[in-house]
Amino acid sequence: MAEQLVTLNDVAEAAGVSLSTASKALNGTDRISVATREHVRDTALRLGFRHNALARSFARGRSQTIGVLTHRASNPFSRVVLASTATELGAREQAMLLYDARFGEADMDESILQLRARRIDGVIVVGTGTSHATPSITDRFDVPVVYAFTFTEEPADVIVTADDVRIGRTAAARLLATGRRRIAHITATADDEAVQRRMAGASAVLAEAGLEWAADVRYGRWHEGWGEQAAGDLLDEVPDLDAIFCGSDAIARGAERGLRTAGRRVPDDVALIGVDNWEQLMYDQSSQRHLTTVEVGLEQIGRLAARQLLDPEREPGIRFVDPQLVIAQTA
Amino acid sequence: MAEQLVTLNDVAEAAGVSLSTASKALNGTDRISVATREHVRDTALRLGFRHNALARSFARGRSQTIGVLTHRASNPFSRVVLASTATELGAREQAMLLYDARFGEADMDESILQLRARRIDGVIVVGTGTSHATPSITDRFDVPVVYAFTFTEEPADVIVTADDVRIGRTAAARLLATGRRRIAHITATADDEAVQRRMAGASAVLAEAGLEWAADVRYGRWHEGWGEQAAGDLLDEVPDLDAIFCGSDAIARGAERGLRTAGRRVPDDVALIGVDNWEQLMYDQSSQRHLTTVEVGLEQIGRLAARQLLDPEREPGIRFVDPQLVIAQTA
């Protein structure tokens, strides 16, 4: 069995002071001489004493627990944000109470009551991306609320999220920098705000270079099969196409298969760039990368959201994380 | 601002009973008439009263918080286990305090002291896979410890993990079922226990069909680039190869590129099967799948580990989750 936990009594006894003095020395709640405080603290350190965090948080009325609300923790991107949120919270001694699939649904009221009964110190709402706005629930809580990997339409909310316009700009700039001029775009549905902003960012960079898309933007789904089909269609329409910006890595993987099936070499004939950096997310590979892509910054979103929540100086508004270009073999 | 939380006082007042009676009715700690108990409970329900969980857990000496120790929360596979662990714990009103990268390192002692000071109710150790054994730390805690997605060499430990032998058996059986007979294996390093067990499982199925590997097993890395290189080498040695079992989906993706570069059709000439089901993990695709693979069951591992920890009837030993064959286009 484990050794017994060192109690405050043990510290007081070993330091030769009263329990009350030991408590004052360690909690800094009353006047006490510097010498005594240091003596008690040294003793506590030597014995391996730790405050009973449960008793301490009860006394303070704080649970050192953060409620996390999410639509679906198993969304592959949300999961990255969740893990980095939990890691950052843990590094700051905050526990995470995860309420999955209870956000935006019928039992939302129940979830909020439960979270408040638990006396959580704050709430992080983890979304499933920037495709659509999330309803603001900030005014349902007395504690701070931060939104991660989503956005709301409430200007007073604190939001940490992906910068889709800069993602689009970064992808297009890379294709131009490698000398490509006949560039197409395969992406998901047109009513998706992430689709719109990535496309707008890339279009702006093309326009700045005096270019337009080489073919109409192909709107479809965030799926590999869609990328394969659309790449084939694009080649039929624009046989001398020299690059494709794909709205996601899944689409890019499919597009690559479509290009190869049509006898095109990647990147010699047609360059490809995606978005997500899934080789890193999924394979954990930092060497021998294949797909050139733009990293959204999901881990950073989770980390910054946790820091914002715990920062008493937090201010309302949207904080975008910077996307990163990841150069590999395809562009 | 949010409405005020309903207090026990509010309930007592609305029910017309004393605070003490209301407390007894809701906590079941003393004799009280059934009629009064039901009346108070109905009143509490009507008012939306929830126990102050913090006060309740302090009274019980329980934190409703589970400590989770991991080597590296950003490992793509561990992250899936972590997210499903957090989801299952959250569904049971347990918070998760994540200690990342503090397991097996110099500051392990410090982490254990901190976790114990926090009065956690249990510990889940989330590993990074079944490649190597994890040191047992069960006897460092007075609370239950469960290991997820790893294994220890301590028979008394409670472990929930991947069944690599059955993963290998499932992959080989699928290739045989599709009529393949000249089957090769590309995998990671030979000293990796997951590599050994997947290979052993597949070899046993081949032997049961009177077959051997069509070429020496290719040992390398869990990388896409390795798969591409090894597939080319295999074709040089065995030009009429008709299937490859790849130790992971990353290896399989690279192998597919190597086969196509060598002019082979997949699956017409050479079938491919991987392990991990990353299209589901990463793209969240359940339709239009490409790679045939074996799903390890990571979400189930996290869920079962959380359930084991909270189950007072838990028994020592290893619980393997069942792998699932995921049939797509390549085999």
Q: What is the pLDDT of residues A120-146, one digit of tens each?
A: 899 999 998 999 998 899 988 889 999
Note the pLDDT of residue A321: 97
Contact between B117 and A52 using a beta-carbon 8 Å cutoff: yes
Whether residue A2 and residue B113 make contact (CB cut-off 8 A), yes or no, is no
Rg of chain A's alpha carbons, rounded to an integer?
26
Question: Which chain A positions have a beta carbon within 8 Å of B54's beta carbon?
Answer: 57-58, 61, 63, 118-119
- Å between B203 CA and nearest CA of chain A: 26
**pLDDT above 70 as % of chain A:** 89
Structural contact between residues A114 and A97, judged by C-beta atoms closer than 8 angstroms: no
pLDDT of residue B2: 41
Say if residue A148 is in the same domain as residue A168: no
Higher pLDDT, B169 or A30: B169
User: Which comes out higher in pLDDT, residue A51 or B206?
Assistant: B206
pLDDT of the residue at B33: 84
Torsion over CA: B219, B135, B148, A111 (sign): negative
Closest among A141, A137, A52, A124 to A81, alpha carbons compared = A124
Q: Does A108 touch chain B (CB under 8 A)?
A: no
Distance CA A266, CA B263 (A): 16
Q: Strands A95-100 and B218-219, how do they pair?
A: unpaired
| Phi, psi dihedrals of residue A314, rounded to the nearest 5° | -55, 145
Which tokens in the block code for residue A7?
């109690």
Helical residues (DSSP H) of A92-192, grouped into ranges: 108-117, 164-177
B139 closest CB neighbour out of A1, A222, A250: A1
Would you call B74 and A299 a contact, using CB atoms and an 8 Å cutoff? Answer: yes
More confident residue, A62 or A312: A312
Rounded Cα distance, A31 and A25, in Å: 9
Residue B234 forms part of a structural domain: yes
The share of chain B scoring above pLDDT 70, in percent, equals 89
Shared domain for A108 and A154, answered yes or no, is yes
Distance between CA atoms of A279 and A287, rounded to whole angstroms? Answer: 10
SS3 of residue B127 by DSSP: coil
One domain, residues A259 and A181: yes
Residues of A in contact with B100 (CB under 8 A): 87, 90-91
The answer to whether position A57 is within a domain reads no
How far apart (Å, rounded) are the C-alpha atoms in residues B36 and B297? 49
Please indicate, yes or no, if residue A40 is contained in any of the structural domains: yes
Q: Domain check: are B42 and B126 in the same one? A: no
pLDDT of residue B117: 78
The verdict on a CB contact (< 8 Å) between A250 and B283 is yes
Pair of tokens at residue B16: 């017309």
The answer to whether residues B168 and B158 belong to one domain is no
First to last CA, chain B: 58
Helical packing angle, A76-91 and B76-91, nearest 10°: 80
Distance (Å, whole) CA A126 – CA A160: 10
Instruction: Tell whether B95 is within 8 A of chain A (Cβ).
Output: yes
Is B281 domain-assigned?
Answer: no
CB-based contact A55 B50, cutoff 8 Å: no
Which residue from A262, A230, A265 is spatially nearest to A245, judged by alpha carbons?
A: A230
| Residue B104 sits at the chain A interface (C-beta within 8 Å) | no
What is the predicted pLDDT for the residue at A3?
45
CA A310 to chain CA mean position, Å: 16
Residue B233 has pLDDT above 80, yes or no: yes
Kindly state the tokens that stand for A315.
């201010």
Cβ-based contacts of B73 with chain A (< 8 Å): 83-84, 86-87
Asked if A220 and A186 count as a contact pair (C-beta separation under 8 A), the reply is yes
A214-265 confidence digits (pLDDT tens): 999 999 999 888 999 999 999 999 999 999 999 999 999 999 989 998 999 9
Q: How far is the C-alpha of A53 from the C-alpha of A56, rounded, in Å? A: 5
Beta-carbon-side half-sphere exposure of residue B153 (alpha carbons within 13 Å): 5
Pairwise CB contact (< 8 Å): B290 & A73: no
B247 falls within a domain: yes
The residue with greater pLDDT, B312 or B267, is: B267
Q: Is residue A244 part of a domain?
A: yes
Whether residue A5 is predicted with pLDDT greater than 80 in this model: the reply is no
Q: Which residues of A touch B87 (CB under 8 A)?
A: 73-74, 98, 100
User: What is the spatial distance between Cα A128 and Cα A134, in angstroms, rounded to a whole number?
Assistant: 10
Same domain for B36 and B69? no
Measured in degrees and rounded to the nearest 5, phi and psi for residue A276 equal 135, -35
- Between B86, B139, B260, which is nearest A96 by CB? B86
What single DSSP character describes residue A186?
A: E
Residues A45 and A86 in one domain: no
Nearest beta carbon to residue B260 from set A260, A282, A283: A260
Which among B288, B296, B303 is the top mutation candidate for probing chain A, defined by the most A β-carbons within 10 Å of its own β-carbon? B288
Q: Do B93 and A118 touch (CB under 8 A)?
A: yes
As a whole number of angstroms, the distance between CA A240 and CA B92 comes to: 58
CB A232 within 8 A of CB A291: no
Same domain, B174 and B154: no
- In this structure, the answer to whether residues B44 and B106 fall within a common structural domain is no
pLDDT classification of A42: cutoffs 50, 70, 90: confident
In terms of domains, do A185 and A98 share one? no
CB atoms B119 and A53 under 8 Å: yes
Work out the average pLDDT over B99-112: 68
pLDDT tens for residues A7-16? Answer: 777 888 899 9
Q: Rounded to an integer, what distance in angstroms lies between the CA atom of residue B48 and that of residue B209?
A: 64
| Two tokens, residue A120 | 């959580």
Asked if residue A286 has pLDDT above 60, the reply is: no
User: Structurally, how many domains does chain B consist of?
Assistant: 3
Closest-CA residue of A relative to B112 is A2
The yes-or-no verdict on residue A322 having pLDDT over 60 is: yes
Which of A3, A69, A96, A107 should one mutate to test binding to chain B, selecting the residue with the greatest count of B CBs within 10 A? A96
Tell me if A223 and B119 make a contact (CB, 8 A cut-off).
no
Q: Which of A80, A98, A224 sits opposite B90 (nearest CB)?
A: A98
The region, left, alpha or beta by phi > 0 then psi within -120 to 50, assigned to residue B60 is alpha
A191 shares its domain with A171: yes
Give me the pLDDT at residue B27, please.
66
pLDDT score at A2: 41
Question: Do B188 and B247 touch, CB atoms closer than 8 A?
Answer: yes
Arithmetic mean of pLDDT, B280-297: 79
**Does A285 map to a domain?**
no
Confidence (pLDDT) at B148: 97
Residue A91 sits at the vertex; the CA angle it makes with A86 and A97, to the nearest 5 degrees, is: 35
Token reading at A63: 């649970």
Look up tokens 């090894």; give the residue. B230
Chain A residues whose beta carbon lies within 8 Å of the beta carbon of residue B58: 54-55, 58
Residue in chain B nearest A300 by alpha carbon: B74
> Cis omega (within 30 of 0) on the bond before B76?
no
B188 is written with which tokens? Answer: 């990671």
Query: Does the residue A174 lie in any domain?
Result: yes
The pLDDT of B59-68, averaged and rounded, is 79
Work out the pLDDT band at B1, boundaries 50, 70, 90.
Answer: very low
* pLDDT above 60: residue A116: yes
pLDDT value at residue B284: 60
Domain span at residue B169 reads: 164-275
Average pLDDT over residues B14-31: 76
Q: How far apart are CA A267 and CA A273, in angstroms?
A: 10
Nearest CA in chain B to A73: B83
What SS3 state is found at B321?
Answer: strand
CATH code, domain carrying B204: 3.40.50.2300
Chain A / chain B CB contacts < 8 angstroms: 191
Going by C-alpha positions, the residue among B19, B2, B20, B15 that lies closest to residue B47 is B15
Q: Does B72 touch chain A (CB under 8 A)?
A: no
Measure A69 CA to nearest chain B CA, in Å: 10
| pLDDT score of B58 more than 60 | no
Q: Are A53 and B118 in contact (CB under 8 A)?
A: yes
Which tens digits make up the pLDDT trace of B200-226? 999 999 999 999 999 999 999 998 889
Burial B54-93 (b: 16+ CB within 10 A, else e): beebbeeeebbbbbbbbbebbbbbbbbbbbbbbbbbbeee
Residue A55: pLDDT above 60? no
CA distances from A140 to A112, A120, A143, B307, B331 (A): 8, 13, 9, 31, 52
Q: Are A255 and A228 in contact (CB under 8 A)?
A: yes
- The H-or-E segment that residue B318 falls in is strand B317-321
* B279-292 burial: b if 16+ Cβ within 10 Å, else e: bbbbbbbeebbbbb
Span A183-207, pLDDT tens digits:
999 999 999 999 999 999 999 999 9
In contact, A107 and A132? CB cutoff 8 Å = no
Residues B83, A87: C-beta atoms closer than 8 Å: no
Look at residue A107 in the predicted model and tell me its pLDDT. 62
Phi, psi of A145 (to 5 degrees): -125, 130
Chain A residues with CB under 8 Å of B96 CB are: 86, 95-98
CATH of residue B25's domain is: 1.10.260.40
Would you call B173 an interface residue with chain A, using a CB distance cutoff of 8 Å? no
Q: Among A4, A81, A116, which would you mutate to test the B interface (most chain B Cβ atoms within 10 Å of its Cβ)?
A: A116
pLDDT score, position B158: 97
**What mean pLDDT value characterizes chain A?**
88
Instruction: Report CB contact under 8 Å: B224, A284.
Output: no
Same domain, A134 and A196: no
